[in-house]
Amino acid sequence: MGNPKKAKGGAKKKKKSAPKAAAPEEDTMILDDRQTVPATPAVWRPGVDEVGEDEELQYDPTAYDCMHAMSLDWPCLSFDIVRDGLGGPRSAFPHTVTLAAGTQAAGPKQNSLAIMKLSNLVQGRHGSKAVKDDSEDDLSDSDSDDDEDGAPVMHLRQIQQACGINRVRIMPQHSSTIATWGDDGRVQVWDAGAQVQDLSAAHDAKAQRGKRLPQRPKHMHAHSTEGYALDWSAVAEGRLASGDCRRGIHVWDPTSSGSWSVSGPFSGHEDSVEDIQWSPTEGNVLASCSVDRTIRIWDSRVREAPQLTVTAHAADVNVISWNPLASHTLASGGDDGVLRVWDLRAFSADRAANEASFVANFAYHRGPVTSLEWCPFESSVLTTTSADGQLAVWDLALERDPEEEAALAASMNAASPDDLPAQLLFVHLGQADLKEAHWHPQIPGMIISTAVSGFNIFKPANVGNE
């Protein structure tokens, strides 16, 4: 394939479920009872290639440096990663991560804002320690590391919520200040300092599950309906933006009394605001996307109209991400399954001229794109999740090299179909109804994703090791 990193992580092997005569380190093609010859495996493409009745998919543990699965009592649509005091960038196992997640329970009063610390995340049987046999490993038991390293441990603290949580975002400057978007139409800001401090001091080898405890929010603001768009500014400390399903955008500015002054709604979108992103370099500039198929750039001091508008997709624009390492770059994902990358320097006041100004277009996913995020360590790398059950990692700096692909094919590298984007670096499967994924800001290459089936915490072997 075009890049040896891509070859290792991007291919999912399709194996016969019946006993195999092949040696464990290579796939073979059976000729008769006495002979076998090597056959170059192909990349299995979700939604394109079928799995036969006598076949099953198995993931290759060498494609991951680590991989763990966990879940709470209820699914979480959204979460964010708490910056801890363990330093970074860090790479040595075992890892510890702290998350804040909002639940979607069967009843409103069963919900919580969950703060959890996951420790002893070992490499297990992945990467360089991968077991070289034909054992029937699968994703469902990937977190049961029955080796000398022991099992991961979760310590949990919970703040009671009276509604389901649509979105969770942590203030970049204060990792214990958390904003939540509720399905009751309220945006609330919480001080989780006590919970974070308590978890930081928890070193027991036995898991702890704290009860749901009541707590008053630091601030609450009611929109006219529920929403999903929520983002803190990385430049202007304490500045927050929220967008709702009735096309309203509100901007929150902190006050000297420790609360927030909220202005809005901003006028411009014609339908539900699905996502919001503040500029990584300018404190008054933000971007929004909408069911009206547009991306709009705003000056937060001007409520009457956006500064720029682009018709971005042929369907609802679900998510956007502003590149923190290349601030002129914005990525978008839509209901059409398309990932697009935009150079904001090419935007103009002419809306029609902007419609074809994207610099990259990948019509890969076979379902709506549900989240995307640029890597905090590499400016050309980002990840997407989709309703098609795939989490994809992309490296826009990659290009196809036929000569290198031919050379790698001789060493049993998977054969890449011509229609597979050269920029597709890795594909992760196994989660039902993927909702959101984030890069860990202190552990290069580590990705955490949430789905109806729970959380996955993993590090692709071909990402973040350079």
Residue 300, both tokens? 């937060």
- Here the tokens at position 294 are 């547009």
pLDDT confidence band for 77 (50 / 70 / 90): very high
According to the model, what pLDDT value does residue 415 have?
66
Among 108, 103, 143, which residue's Cα sits nearest to residue 126?
143
Q: Which of 364, 367, 417 is nearest to 394 (CA)?
A: 364
- Alpha-carbon Rg of the chain, whole angstroms? 23
| Overall average pLDDT of the 228-240 stretch | 98
- Per-chain mean pLDDT for the chain: 86
What is the DSSP secondary-structure string of 281-350? S-TTEEEEEETTSEEEEEETT--SS-SEEEE--SS-EEEEEE-SSSTTEEEEEETTS-EEEEEGGG--S-
Confidence of residue 11 (pLDDT cuts 50, 70, 90): very low
| 417 confidence band (pLDDT: 50, 70, 90) | confident
- Give yes or no for residue 200 having a pLDDT over 80: yes
Under a CB-based contact definition with an 8 Å cutoff, are residues 372 and 383 in contact?
Answer: yes
Residues of the chain above pLDDT 70, percent: 82
pLDDT reported for residue 302: 94
Picking from 9-13, 254-258, 359-363, 407-411, which range would have the lowest pLDDT averaged per residue? Answer: 9-13
Residue 202 in this model has a pLDDT that exceeds 80: yes
Q: Is the pLDDT of residue 362 over 80?
A: yes
Is residue 279 within 8 A of residue 220, CB to CB? The reply is: no
Distance CA 288, CA 331 (A): 12
Instruction: Please give the Cα distance from 275 to 288 (Å, whole number).
Output: 6
Model confidence pLDDT, tens digit, residues 123-154: 998 987 775 544 444 433 344 444 446 789 99
Provide the pLDDT confidence category of residue 354 given band limits of 50, 70 and 90.
low
Average pLDDT over residues 13-32: 31
**Which residue matches tokens 């049993």?**
412
* Whole-prediction pTM: 0.87
d(CA 164, CA 370): 18
**Mean pLDDT value across residues 305-324:** 96
pLDDT of residue 383: 98
Say how far residue 188 (Cα) sits from the centre of its chain: 23
Q: Both tokens of residue 362? A: 């990948």
- Say yes or no to pLDDT of 453 above 90: yes
Beta pairing class for 339-343 and 329-334 = antiparallel
As a whole number of angstroms, the distance between CA 417 and CA 312 comes to 28
pLDDT of residue 18: 30
Q: What pLDDT does residue 24 have?
A: 28
Distance CA 374, CA 210 (A): 33
- Is 26's pLDDT higher than 80? no
pLDDT per residue as tens digits for the range 388-400? 999 999 999 998 7
Rounded mean pLDDT, 209-237:
96
**pLDDT tens digit sequence for 87-111:** 999 999 999 999 999 999 999 999 9
**Can you give the pLDDT at residue 17?**
31
Which pLDDT does position 4 carry in this prediction? 32
What confidence score (pLDDT) does residue 466 get? 57
Mean pLDDT of 418-440: 94
pLDDT of residue 46: 79
Q: 85: buried, middle or exposed (CB in 10 Å: 19+, 13-18, 0-12)?
A: exposed
Query: How many Å apart are CA 353 and CA 366, to the nearest integer?
Result: 28
Specify whether the CB–CB gap between 276 and 254 falls below 8 A: no
pLDDT given for residue 39 in this prediction: 57
| pLDDT (0 to 100) of residue 10 | 38
pLDDT at position 255: 97
Residue by residue, DSSP assigns 389-404 as S-EEEEETT----HHH
DSSP 8-state class, residue 414: P
The fraction of the chain above a pLDDT of 90, given in percent, is 70
Residue 378, amino acid: E
CA dihedral 449, 450, 452, 458 (to 10 degrees): 40
- The pairing of strands 227-232 and 240-244 is antiparallel
- Kindly report which listed range (145-159, 188-202, 228-242, 376-390) carries the lowest average pLDDT score: 145-159
Q: Which residue has the higher pLDDT, 29 or 63?
A: 63
Return the minimum-mean-pLDDT range out of 57-61, 66-70, 87-91, 318-322: 57-61
pLDDT band at 58 (very low <50, low <70, confident <90, very high): confident
Position 34 pLDDT exceeds 60: no
CA distance 279 to 287: 7
pLDDT at residue number 48? 79
The pLDDT assigned to 349 comes to 65
